[in-house]
């Protein structure tokens, strides 16, 4: 997800602070299945949640998750109130000016999701229509950059993907541009939705940490171990139902991104 910084309030658990010697404080997107979400009993789970728990286990630290909207993740990390942030966060040069990222571990593009009976068959079909995006994401940036050319009727902004999906179902908005794997997971058992276009953005997700974080080298090293040992590939199969591509960042050890 994800290209610009927005300074927004950060909601932290009372008494929780970053950089405890025996714990890792993780800022977590509120509702972002299958990367992080709550089940019916309120238990936090998902691909990146499992990844962080493996990292904590290998470091001998407990992992404390603090839930917040996507746009609040940046303020939490930049202020060092959180040690790490997860939320399918795209690594970008602009973000690397203010924060650090581990090596990437997931590759993604953006997709257009519409109502299956909407008659919209492609991006061009959104001319004059209302487009939904998630605030602070690369989907929002793409929409802003292409609004004049594609002549969207309007752009509606949301904090998460569940509300725009509901608004597509009720006809309040016509389509959503968002991360492909997240929306594919959401609609897999919901025939009222359809993904009708893939927008190649060649994004890669990583764990986001404060600039010059002392944890970066250790956490990145563990991600390399999880790739080489096959555990990260196993998580991919568990949460996405398919094997990770052999040349993907999920299984290939890569350098820490830099400017």
Domains (range + CATH), the chain: 23-105+206-240 (3.40.190.10), 109-202 (3.40.190.10)
Tokens encoding 17: 């602070």
3-state secondary structure 8-76: CCCCCCCCCCCCCCCEEEEEEECCECCCEEECCCCCEECHHHHHHHHHHHHHCCEEEEEEECHHHHHHH
**How confident is the model over 209-238, as pLDDT tens digits?**
999 999 999 999 999 999 999 999 999 999
Q: How far apart are CA 48 and CA 235, in angstroms?
A: 9
Strand order in the sheet with 208-210: 62-68, 23-29, 84-86, 208-210, 99-101
**Beta-strand relationship, 208-210 and 99-101:** antiparallel
Tell me what percent of the residues of the chain surpass a pLDDT of 90: 81
- The predicted structure's pLDDT at residue 1: 52
Point out the least confidently predicted range of 32-41, 44-53, 206-215. 32-41
pLDDT band at residue 30 using 50, 70 and 90 as cut-offs? confident
Q: pLDDT at position 191, please?
A: 95
What was the pLDDT predicted at 14?
Answer: 35
Give the chain's mean pLDDT: 91
Q: What's the rounded mean pLDDT across residues 12-28?
A: 65
pTM of the model: 0.82
Mean pLDDT of 234-246: 93
At residue 3, the pLDDT reads 42
Radius of gyration of the chain (CA): 18
Q: How many residues does the chain have?
A: 259
Span 92-118, average pLDDT? 96
């Amino acid at each position: 997800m994800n290209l610009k910084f927005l300074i927004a309030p950060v909601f932290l658990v009372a008494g929780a602070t970053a950089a405890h010697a025996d714990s890792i404080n993780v800022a977590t997107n509120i509702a972002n299945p299958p990367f992080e979400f709550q089940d019916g009993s309120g238990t936090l789970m998902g691909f990146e949640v499992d990844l962080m728990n493996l990292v904590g286990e290998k470091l001998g630290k407990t992992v404390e998750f603090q839930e917040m909207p996507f746009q609040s993740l940046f303020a939490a990390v930049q202020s060092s109130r959180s040690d790490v942030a997860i939320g399918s966060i795209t690594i970008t040069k602009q973000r690397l000016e203010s924060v650090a990222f581990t090596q990437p571990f997931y590759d993604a593009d953006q997709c257009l999701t519409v109502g299956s009976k909407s008659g919209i068959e492609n991006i061009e079909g959104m001319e004059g229509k209302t487009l939904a995006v998630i605030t602070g994401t690369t989907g929002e940036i793409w929409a802003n950059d292409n609004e004049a050319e594609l002549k969207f009727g309007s752009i509606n902004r949301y904090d998460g993907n569940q509300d725009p999906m509901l608004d597509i179902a009720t006809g309040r908005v016509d389509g959503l541009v968002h991360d492909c794997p997240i929306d594919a997971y959401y609609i897999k058992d919901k025939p009222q939705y359809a993904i009708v276009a893939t927008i190649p953005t060649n994004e890669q997700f990583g764990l986001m940490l404060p600039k010059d974080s002392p944890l970066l080298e250790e956490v990145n090293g563990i991600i390399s171990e999880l790739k080489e040992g096959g555990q990260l590939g196993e998580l991919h199969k568990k949460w996405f139902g398919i094997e990770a591509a052999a040349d993907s960042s999920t299984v290939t050890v890569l350098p820490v991104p830099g400017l």
